[in-house]
Structure 1
Amino acid sequence: MGQVFLFRQIVILIEDLYASRIMIELSHVQAFCTIVRLNSYSAAARALATTQPSISRRIRELERELGVTLFDTRTRRAVLTAKGREFLPQAEELLQRVDAITASMTERHEISGTVRLGASETVAMTWLSSFVEATRIQYPKVILSVDVDLADRLISKFNAGLLDAAIVTPAMSGKDVEVEDLGCFDYAWMASPVLGIPTHRHSPNELAVYPIISLSEGSALYQMAVRWFKDHAAVPNWVNHCSSVSMVTALTEAGLGISLLPRSLMQDRIDAKVLQVIEVSPPFPTLRFAVAYGSHATSPAVLAVVRMMRESSTFYFPDEI
């Protein structure tokens, strides 16, 4: 009876909103609400696992059906027009009622299985725990087997069939691999103030003379640092390779060298003057993370976990529309 009642509510709502026989697709309404929520066409495209042109097309078709302009085209930001603001609460109500019916018809709690997931230490230090908790709540019959390791090892394990999905940087590719972007994360060069490193911007050659502590050679961060120095004809003075960020941090705080550390996670140490940020020019590139999983015979559990990753990731996307 509850499902029938909800269905009737949606019918009534659609009839009330679009009595003039306007034919509106739910995917268009979903795109509209997602753009408003994320304030970006490109971010909405990523959240809905589609392309930005597809999102733009949905909005154009929605505006054509409604006969109004929903977004102000004079700005690059996703700014609503007066009609857009008027439509927003009605669109959200429609999607909420659709979600209620979908939830009542879909046996989410019946999705089960073990998902073998590989993740880098950066993910483990940021949003992995909240992702695991959210997955447990949404899919209580899904078991996550999480392997935190260096990027090259995760890629090898995934290619060997030992992992169902892996969050790594750089992204993997292949005809049997699906890849979904999870965003970017910043590392910065840091040192202990006891080293007395000048506060001006340093070139790669200037930085290369200091003892450099890094993650192990199998890490994506180390490989990026090698390319960064090489691209600018600098020869780095590597002195230590460590297996964990915590060890790199400890050695750096002890004044044994400089290193690349996660900027946002080190803010307390920076504020306490235990670490200082070394500004460089050109800037060190950001790490871009993606989740890779098999494109064939993927279980509902794996797809559910990938969906939860997109929702849980706290990595940022470049500000673009």
Structure 2
Amino acid sequence: MKRLAIYHLETLLWIARLGTFRAAAERLNTTQPAISARVREIEEQLGVALFRREGRMMVLTARGRDLVREVEPLWAGFERALHKASDFSGAAGMVRVGAGEIAAAGCLPGFVRDVERDLPGVTLEVELDLTARMVQHLLGGRSDLVFLAGPVASPGIRTAAIGTVGLVFAASAETARSLRDGDAAGAIPVWALPPTSPLHAVTRECLSGSNVSGTDIQARAVATCNNVRTLIDIVLAGRGAAVMPETMVREDLARGALVELLPRPTRHLQFEAAIRETERDPLILELFRRASQLQIDPA
């Protein structure tokens, strides 16, 4: 009978974390049949069933939960000792990172650069998405570390604040000129991210009566676009106005391509780095530590 090895324990922990053999196989860069074979070897060696199938998910049995509870701190300590001995320079593996566009345009490039420089064995898999879906992916084990608009108060998530981003309500110079000269025919389109985004709420606040009183701004409708960069390009093309992150349009404002139509919103977007509360992987904890020291807008 084949004796248990370190990779057996690693396999067990990742199935427990991610819920399916397929997800564990992707995480460990192997095949689903190989994962199944490892589980059979563990169960044959121990003489107990560790998982039971519930639909598409593999759920731990009571014996399996006990084993994971005992093994997880041992595994984390083992990895931590190895990483500490090499000052993490020998760390290797794939880490899945989620980020919103604003964070991607702000602190993410520097974070990626530093990881590639200091941890050459680590590969980052970056996916851009909206905050609501990133939270789901993090809790579901599809992401390991995310940069999102906050504050996020979700059970099971540990966060660290990385700063705020100011907002501007602006339009193209052409649209602003038409409004000033009275040439705009009726109301103008206003663009925003989907309702699940904090930016959408700020847009609605800006369009409230107290914010637009004394101006000629009337919103024809609030159209939505799930891509901040595309939204900015639509406004630059003279197709309406929008609340936009000042960090992403700073140069357009400076050169006069965009003009602020209303006073800047008093509400800023807060940003956070986040991991699962139960995360024990030393590499992910190290990347979270590094992420916690970032600033979304160093300027």
Q: Could you say whether these structures have the same fold, taking a TM-score greater than 0.5 normalized by the shorter chain as the test?
A: yes
> Structure 1 residue 248 and structure 2 residue 228: aligned?
no
| Secondary structure at the counterpart of residue 188 of structure 1 | strand
CA contact (8 A) 1:120 1:151 kept: yes
Unpaired runs of 5+ in structure 2? 1-82, 182-186, 213-217
| Secondary structure at the counterpart of residue 162 of structure 1 | coil
Q: Which deviations, in whole Å up to 9, do the C-alpha atoms of 1:286-309 show, x marking residues without a partner?
A: 100011211224211111111222
Letter in 2 for 1:291: A
* Structure 2 residue corresponding to 1:211, chosen from 189, 195, 198: 189
| 1:256-271 alignment runs, 5 A limit | 256-271=239-254
- CA offset at residue 173 of structure 1? 2.5
Aligned pair in 2 of structure 1 residues 155, 314: CA closer, same or farther (>3 Å)?
closer
Q: Which deviations, in whole Å up to 9, do the C-alpha atoms of 1:230-266 show, x marking residues without a partner?
A: 6969895434311222221222122211111222332
Would you identify which runs of 4 or more consecutive aligned residues in structure 1 move more than 6 Å? none
Letter in 1 for 2:132: D
Rounded Cα–Cα distance in structure 1 between residues aligned with 2:240 and 2:153: 35
- CA offset at residue 120 of structure 1? 0.3
Aligned to 1:168: 148
Aligned to 1:28: none
Rounded Cα–Cα distance in structure 2 between residues aligned with 1:225 and 1:299: 39
Aligned to 1:293: 275
Percent identity (aligned): 20
Aligned pair in 2 of structure 1 residues 230, 152: CA closer, same or farther (>3 Å)?
farther
| 1:78-117 alignment runs, 5 A limit | 106-117=86-97
Aligned pair in 2 of structure 1 residues 228, 298: CA closer, same or farther (>3 Å)?
farther
Aligned pair in 2 of structure 1 residues 124, 297: CA closer, same or farther (>3 Å)?
closer
Aligned to 2:18: none
| Secondary structure at the counterpart of residue 116 of structure 1 | strand
CA contact (8 A) 1:184 1:316 kept: no
Unpaired runs of 5+ in structure 1? 1-102, 200-208
Q: Which deviations, in whole Å up to 9, do the C-alpha atoms of 1:37-81 show, x marking residues without a partner?
A: xxxxxxxxxxxxxxxxxxxxxxxxxxxxxxxxxxxxxxxxxxxxx
CA contact (8 A) 2:235 2:241 kept: yes
- CA offset at residue 316 of structure 1? 5.6
Aligned to 1:3: none
* Structure 2 residue corresponding to 1:221, chosen from 199, 206, 210: 199
Rounded Cα–Cα distance in structure 2 between residues aligned with 1:211 and 1:297: 44
Give me the TM-score of the superposition, normalised by structure 2.
0.60
Aligned to 2:59: none
Rounded Cα–Cα distance in structure 1 between residues aligned with 2:134 and 2:279: 21
> Structure 1 residue 277 and structure 2 residue 260: aligned?
yes
Rounded Cα–Cα distance in structure 2 between residues aligned with 1:225 and 1:257: 13
Aligned to 2:68: none
* Structure 2 residue corresponding to 1:133, chosen from 94, 113, 119: 113
Rounded Cα–Cα distance in structure 1 between residues aligned with 2:297 and 2:254: 22
Aligned pair in 2 of structure 1 residues 304, 194: CA closer, same or farther (>3 Å)?
same
- CA offset at residue 188 of structure 1? 0.6
Rounded Cα–Cα distance in structure 2 between residues aligned with 1:152 and 1:232: 29
- CA offset at residue 218 of structure 1? 3.5
Rounded Cα–Cα distance in structure 1 between residues aligned with 2:139 and 2:84: 38
Rounded Cα–Cα distance in structure 2 between residues aligned with 1:176 and 1:217: 24
Give me the TM-score of the superposition, normalised by structure 1.
0.56
* Structure 1 residue corresponding to 2:157, chosen from 159, 170, 177: 177
| Secondary structure at the counterpart of residue 263 of structure 2 | coil
| Secondary structure at the counterpart of residue 108 of structure 1 | coil
Q: Which deviations, in whole Å up to 9, do the C-alpha atoms of 1:11-52 show, x marking residues without a partner?
A: xxxxxxxxxxxxxxxxxxxxxxxxxxxxxxxxxxxxxxxxxx
- CA offset at residue 119 of structure 1? 0.5
Rounded Cα–Cα distance in structure 1 between residues aligned with 2:205 and 2:262: 18
